[in-house]
């Protein structure tokens, strides 16, 4: 595993939130996320989150070329490496980056035969280089609209073909679920999610130079709700 001090590459609010997430995933939720991303027995609440994440992962992988041979891919916020492993098996040269060193250790152990390369650090760090494809699955859902838009812009500058990311869609239902989540057992809680209206996300992306918005899909499974967006580089 390669670790590095992560530079502040976006607004201070992004850096502060990133550090809070690192603390959460490394200290509080490491065991819970190992179980969530495996076939271990989990609570009913977490079963719905697992099912939703599985569907979202398949959606994003389906938006990538079936044959990724000769392509490079950044899994930005790779967690325990499930998406990175599949992309590597399809031929991609995969770099997985996550703020939580503990999850990177799990990713390395699980994906040792796939050839993916994992790093603990800031997914926005330009030192990781440029890529044909970038995927940021549920790694931006904890940030405000300004920080999300800034992060997407920074990632887009290092992407040659397509950039796929998810956000938490603003809705009354999601707001109600987030409010209800405060009463869950601590082990079933996740870091605060920041809902953003779909029109607000698309408005901020409309003027991203050299890019067009492609496909979109919302996945809602119990206590998991996330919306995927495909950005395609214009030629």
Structure tokens at 207: 């003027």
pLDDT band at 79 (very low <50, low <70, confident <90, very high): very high
Structure confidence by residue, pLDDT tens digits, 126-179: 999 999 999 999 999 999 999 999 999 999 999 999 999 999 998 655 455 444
User: How many angstroms separate the CA atoms of 134 and 93, rounded?
Assistant: 12
pLDDT band at 116 (very low <50, low <70, confident <90, very high): very high
- pTM greater than 0.75: yes
Q: Where are the domains of the chain?
A: 2-233
Residue 11 has pLDDT above 80, yes or no: no
Looking at every residue in the chain, the average pLDDT score rounds to 88
Structure confidence by residue, pLDDT tens digits, 178-231: 444 454 444 444 557 899 999 999 999 988 999 999 999 999 999 899 999 999
- Topology (CATH level 3) of domain 2-233: Rossmann fold (3.40.50)
């Amino acid at each position: 595993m390669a670790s590095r001090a992560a530079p502040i590459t976006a607004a201070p609010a992004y850096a502060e939130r990133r550090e809070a997430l690192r603390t959460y995933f490394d200290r509080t939720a490491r065991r819970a996320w190992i179980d969530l991303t495996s076939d271990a027995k989990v609570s009913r609440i977490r079963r719905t989150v697992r099912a939703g994440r599985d569907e979202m992962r398949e959606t994003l992988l389906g938006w990538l070329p079936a044959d990724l041979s000769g392509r490079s891919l950044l899994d930005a916020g790779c967690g325990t490496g499930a998406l990175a492993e599949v992309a590597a098996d399809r031929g991609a040269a995969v770099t997985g980056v996550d703020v939580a060193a503990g999850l990177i250790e799990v990713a390395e152990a699980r994906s040792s035969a796939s050839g993916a390369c994992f790093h603990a650090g800031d997914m926005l760090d330009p030192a990781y280089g440029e890529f044909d494809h970038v995927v940021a699955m549920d790694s931006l859902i904890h940030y405000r609209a300004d920080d999300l838009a800034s992060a997407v812009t920074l990632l887009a500058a290092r992407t040659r073909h397509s950039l796929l990311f998810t956000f938490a869609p603003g809705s009354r239902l999601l707001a109600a679920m987030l409010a209800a989540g405060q009463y869950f057992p601590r082990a079933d809680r996740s870091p605060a999610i920041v809902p953003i209206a779909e029109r607000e996300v698309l408005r901020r992306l409309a003027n991203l130079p050299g890019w067009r918005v492609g496909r979109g899909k919302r996945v809602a499974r119990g206590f998991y709700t996330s919306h995927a967006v495909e950005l395609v580089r214009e030629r």
